[in-house]
Structure 1
């Protein structure tokens, strides 16, 4: 199955006259670190520009300060959320006991959750519907953790097969990033996403994708609770939006990750007009 722009437009939550920041969804983000603070900046930026009602960030003070300098509407500290985004800009090898406890609380909350980068090794602990966003090397590590041996070359040659294998083995939706983006669901469903500009292969682009996906999940959290299969559709939609925003920002030339995030409102507006 190939995911289209029309499929994606149908998954954008457009606010009505009764909308407020809570009705539009609150995304909890446990992202960034002292070593990689920019990941939180990019993810929060992307989530806001995708249309979530609020982002609630839990991060080290330096990360909070950098995010607030860019996005002063972000809220810091614990509180009500509809969905979680965790792991961007983190390294599992450097994880503290405090961060581990914070991540485990989010995973155990039962809320839909987007698991990225430095939290992928915790995916099995998710109590609710979960989607992981690995690149090829990260998928190999997830599979090995599940007792399945492969390598990055094998994943590169057969991304659909290995994404589906990981989804079934780990019980999560897999959004496999790469030149060919694939979404695999636990039930075996496989969704192909149209290729994006190769200029998107740049530092931080994955953090932007995670923020887009987190926003879509937060704005559709009730639907995901009722039907977890919706998570695969939202993952594919996030990848399409990400690719279209990159194309818009690039115009055929180089881009940085923040350029992609800044192009999101116009990209979504164009999708909704078609």
Structure 2
């Protein structure tokens, strides 16, 4: 049985910075995304993380996406270092991944920092030990289930997401017009905050950045990073993402939007939730 995630739920997850905060206490997110083939994924995820609100983003990736990230967001730190959470896999392809990159991703996935796992890193996530939020769309979810030896998902997206969460020990955020967030203990939320205009390239990369920022901020604030907490953070990220898309579309007369439009609308939506909360 699922519960619909609300603005009030999201407000309980968000935290407004105080005068006592610095860039480290607000959260540091490591981002290892993008590729020479899909450099924009890195730009979108980093942009979304900054716009959601955190202290620092560390980007680690190939030269081309690094240059584009720094051109768009020069405040990004393009060196490896201590982080409170990771976002990996967006804009990458497991089929063309170099062995060195596989080793680096495995190291992240077997460390203790929570990891948001997207797209080209999902194949490495099943047997990982780090706290994880997996963010597949339906086709990626089907491939993941096959690799786990699970039956095809069928029409019940909630039941299949819960089963995948139980099998992996990770939170599963199943993207779609109705987003499902499932925890390994069987708890599940549905998040229907978006707009059909959200079905466009790059919006999943933005979602990863939103969730990454929330998780890094939670860990920096010494809040829990267990599965139940990560499920709440994932649902809050999906809610913010969907409402940013709605606001971006409304500002354009209810018309089409791009992924970057969604990222740029995030600060207003975050402010509205904080004010309401």
Residue 122 of structure 1 corresponds to which residue in structure 2?
Answer: 124
Quote how far apart the aligned CAs of 1:6 are.
0.8
Query: Secondary structure at 2:224's aligned position in 1?
Result: helix
Residue 168 of structure 1 corresponds to which residue in structure 2?
Answer: 166
Residue 180 of structure 2 corresponds to which residue in structure 1?
Answer: 182
Structure 1: runs of 5 or more not aligned: none
How many aligned positions are there? 269
Residue 224 of structure 2 corresponds to which residue in structure 1?
Answer: 224
Q: How do 1:86-165 residues align onto structure 2 when only pairs under 5 Å count?
A: 86-150=88-152, 154=154, 157-165=155-163
Quote how far apart the aligned CAs of 1:237 are.
0.2
TM-score normalised by structure 2 residue count: 0.95
Query: Secondary structure at 1:223's aligned position in 2?
Result: coil
Quote how far apart the aligned CAs of 1:259 are.
0.1
Structure 2: runs of 5 or more not aligned: none
Q: Partners in 2 of 1:36 and 1:9 — Cα distance?
A: 34
Query: Secondary structure at 1:84's aligned position in 2?
Result: strand
Q: CA RMSD in A?
A: 1.0
Q: Partners in 1 of 2:270 and 2:68 — Cα distance?
A: 26
1:250 aligns with 2:219: no
Runs of 4+ off more than 6 Å: none
Q: How do 1:193-204 residues align onto structure 2 when only pairs under 5 Å count?
A: 193-204=191-202
1:21 aligns with 2:23: yes
Residue 87 of structure 2 corresponds to which residue in structure 1?
Answer: 85
Q: Partners in 2 of 1:77 and 1:100 — Cα distance?
A: 19
1:53 aligns with 2:55: yes
Write the deviation string for residues 160-190 of structure 1: whole angstroms up to 9, x where unpaired: 0111111011111000000111000000001
Q: Partners in 2 of 1:135 and 1:228 — Cα distance?
A: 20
